Amino acid sequence: MSENNTLNAPTLNAIRNTRIQKLTELADKGINPYPYSYDKNASAKSLQEKYKDLPAGEETNDEYLVAGRVMAIRNTGMFIDLMDASGKIQIFSHKENMDIEKIKTLKLVDIGDIVGFQGTIRRTPRGELSIKATDFKILSKSLLPLPEKFHGLTDVETRYRQRYVDLIMNEDVRDTFRKRSLIIQKIREYLAKHGFLEVETPILQTTASGANARPFTTHHNALDMDLT
């Protein structure tokens, strides 16, 4: 993914090389680590709401397909925290429920990977709603680690320049962007409903204007002209 607050360049390179090796192992197994699509049929939030009254220790035969980013791996892959756009759900993967070759392939999954899981709903004795996985599919292999969980992504410059990492790591930032997107959508709908026409204005122009920030100059190769 991106810059880690606590890792230096040699360490990041070593991690990347290890993940590239795992990528090669997946290819050797005939697995495409970047498939075109995955037909999930449930989100973490919808499952949390639907089974909020499922007692601790209870299992169901209800099967679902979910997909999201791996945020934590515990007990050598037996428990995985999976986060999608709606929230988080735990994955329980065990050799009693999953083919042994699948279990071996699961060891090639890292934090930051996007993975799809298929399985039934259960609530652990400790009360954690989980999917008892019977199958999974790697949807996107991450070659760089996420910022470590304890310190998170705190550097302001990195957060602004690599906003995609900020959105992955910080729920409050994701919530702000969701609200911003909805506000802009509603404003556009209101104005369109009342006959207004949205017109785009140029981002680059020949004369700097309309801002307090110091302008920069760039060259437009196709037009052979300088713009600010």
The pLDDT mean for the chain works out to 89
| φ, ψ dihedrals at 100, nearest 5° | -60, -35
pLDDT at 202: 74
pLDDT at residue 2 in the model:
44
Quote the longest CA-to-CA distance of the chain.
Answer: 69
Helix (H) or strand (E) holding 48: helix 44-50
What mean pLDDT is predicted for residues 1-27? 81
Question: How much is the pLDDT for 212?
Answer: 64
CATH homologous superfamily of 34-140 equals Nucleic acid-binding proteins (2.40.50.140)
More confident residue, 204 or 185: 185
> Is pLDDT above 50 for 116?
yes
Q: What is the pLDDT of residues 45-91, one digit of tens each?
A: 999 999 999 999 999 999 999 999 999 999 988 999 999 999 999 99
Of residues 222, 38, 35, 191, the one with CA closest to residue 118: 38
pTM here is: 0.78
Contact 70, 1 (CB under 8 A): no
Angle at alpha carbon of residue 108, lines to 103 and 109, rounded to 5°:
95
Query: Quick one: pLDDT at residue 210?
Result: 62
Average pLDDT of the segment spanning 192-219: 79
117 pLDDT above the threshold of 90: yes
Give the Cα separation of 158 and 69 in Å (integer).
21
